[in-house]
C-alpha cells in the first residue's frame, strides 16, 4: 500500500531547500510526494542575489481545490516548513483540518520555523498562528530550543526543563516532539550538540506512556541551508517505519543527517581549497550522492532513553 505525502514548502531552482530537500529522500524511501511550492526562488537566500515568486494563500487554495476536484486529495502525511505569511499559514491549517476529516489517521509533520539563537527571523505575527492554530493540529513537530521555548513560554536550562517543555508541547497537541538542537551541555564534549525527543503512546487499555530520548550529534563548522527540511522529512519517514520506537527513528534520522552533512562538507572543502571557507554554492547539500545513506544509513548516532 503506497504512502502519499503532501509537502507544502519552499522551492529553489538551484540547490536543495524545502521541497527539494524533502521530496527526493522521501521518494527514495518509497513515499509518493505531491509538492506545492510556497515560494519559487532561483536559489536560497544565503546567496548574494535571488529572484522569484511567493505563493499567496489564495493561490494555495486554488491549487488545493484543483486536487480536490479530481478526487486525488487522499494523503497519509502533510509536511510543512518555512513560511512568512500568516494568511498562507492559516490556509495550511484549513487544508490539514479538512484532510484529517477525510482521513483521521493522517499525520501532520510541522517544522515550526520561527527563529534561532534568541531572535525571530519571521514576522512576529506568525508566532500566535503557530502557537494557537498550527501546533494544535500537528502530530510531529521539530522545533529548535528557541522555538520550543517561544511556543511554551518556558526557558530550557537543564534536561529536566527540556522534558517539561516537551510535555507542554504534547499538551498542545503533537504526540511526537523533537528539539533538534539545544544549548544544553553535551556529555561527549564541546564538539557535540544535544537534541532531545519525546513520543506519547496510548496503550491498548487507554493509558498513556511516553518515551524520551537524548541524542548528541557532532558539531560542524559551517552553515547549511535545507538541513531542517531534510530532518523533518527523514523523521516523517523513519517514524512511519518505526511508529512506536522513537529511539530507532531518531538514530536513523540523525545518522542520515550526519552522512549527508559530512559528504557535503568534504566536497565543499575540496572545492574551496586549503585554508579557504566554502561559499554557499559549494555548501549545497550533496543529496543525490547520499542516496545509499538515505536508503540504509549506517548508525553513527546513538540515542539514549532518558525516561
Catalytic annotation, residues: 229
pTM: 0.96
Locate 43 and state its grid cell: 536559489
Checking if the pLDDT of 203 tops 90, the result is no
Identify the band that residue 169 occupies on the pLDDT scale cut at 50, 70 and 90.
Answer: very high
The pLDDT, as a whole number, for residue 221 is 86
Cα→Cα distances 209→11, 176, 178, 203, 251, Å:
38, 12, 17, 7, 20
Domain count, the chain: 1
| Torsion on CA atoms 247, 249, 254, 260, rounded to nearest 10 | 160
Cβ-proximal residues to 305 (8 Å cutoff; 6+ apart), any chain: 211, 212, 213, 247
For residue 97, the domain's CATH number is: 3.40.1190.20
Checking if the pLDDT of 36 tops 90, the result is yes
SS3 117: coil
Checking if the pLDDT of 13 tops 90, the result is yes
The pLDDT, as a whole number, for residue 206 is 82
- CB count in 10 Å sphere of residue 305: 10
The pLDDT, as a whole number, for residue 7 is 98
Q: What's the maximum distance between 2 C-alpha atoms anywhere in the chain?
A: 61
The parent domain of residue 210 ranges over 3-306
Amino acid at each position: 500500500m503506497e504512502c502519499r505525502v503532501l509537502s507544502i514548502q519552499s522551492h529553489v531552482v538551484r540547490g536543495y531547500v524545502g521541497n527539494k530537500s524533502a521530496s527526493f529522500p522521501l521518494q527514495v524511501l518509497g513515499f509518493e510526494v505531491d509538492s506545492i511550492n510556497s515560494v519559487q526562488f532561483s536559489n536560497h537566500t544565503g546567496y548574494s542575489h535571488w529572484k522569484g515568486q511567493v505563493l499567496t494563500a489564495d493561490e494555495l487554495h486554488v491549487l488545493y481545490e484543483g486536487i480536490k476536484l479530481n478526487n486525488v486529495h487522499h494523503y497519509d502525511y502533510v509536511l510543512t516548513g518555512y513560511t512568512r505569511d500568516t494568511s498562507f499559514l492559516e490556509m495550511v491549517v484549513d487544508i490539514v483540518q479538512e484532510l484529517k476529516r477525510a482521513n483521521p489517521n493522517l499525520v501532520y509533520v510541522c517544522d515550526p520555523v520561527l527563529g534561532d539563537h534568541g531572535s525571530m527571523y519571521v514576522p512576529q505575527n506568525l508566532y500566535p498562528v503557530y502557537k494557537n492554530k498550527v501546533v494544535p493540529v500537528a502530530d510531529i513537530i521539530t522545533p529548535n530550543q528557541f522555538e520550543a521555548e517561544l511556543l511554551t513560554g518556558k526557558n530550557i536550562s537543564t534536561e529536566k526543563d527540556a522534558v517539561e517543555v516537551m510535555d507542554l508541547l504534547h499538551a498542545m497537541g503533537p504526540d511526537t516532539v523533537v528539539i533538534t538542537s539545544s544549548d544544553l551541555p553535551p556529555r561527549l564534549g564541546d564538539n557535540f550538540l544535544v537534541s532531545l525527543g519525546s513520543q506519547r503512546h496510548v496503550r491498548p487499555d487507554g493509558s498513556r506512556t511516553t518515551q524520551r530520548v537524548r541524542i548528541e550529534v557532532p558539531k560542524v563548522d559551517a552553515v547549511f541551508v535545507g538541513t531542517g527540511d531534510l530532518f523533518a522529512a527523514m523523521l516523517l519517514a523513519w517514524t512511519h517505519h518505526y511508529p512506536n520506537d522513537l529511539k530507532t527513528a531518531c538514530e536513523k534520522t540523525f545518522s542520515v543527517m550526519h552522512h549527508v552533512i559530512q559528504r557535503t562538507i568534504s566536497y565543499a572543502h575540496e572545492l574551496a581549497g586549503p585554508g579557504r571557507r566554502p561559499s554557499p554554492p559549494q555548501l549545497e547539500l550533496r543529496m543525490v550522492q547520499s542516496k545509499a545513506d538515505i536508503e540504509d544509513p549506517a548508525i553513527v548516532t546513538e540515542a539514549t532513553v532518558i525516561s
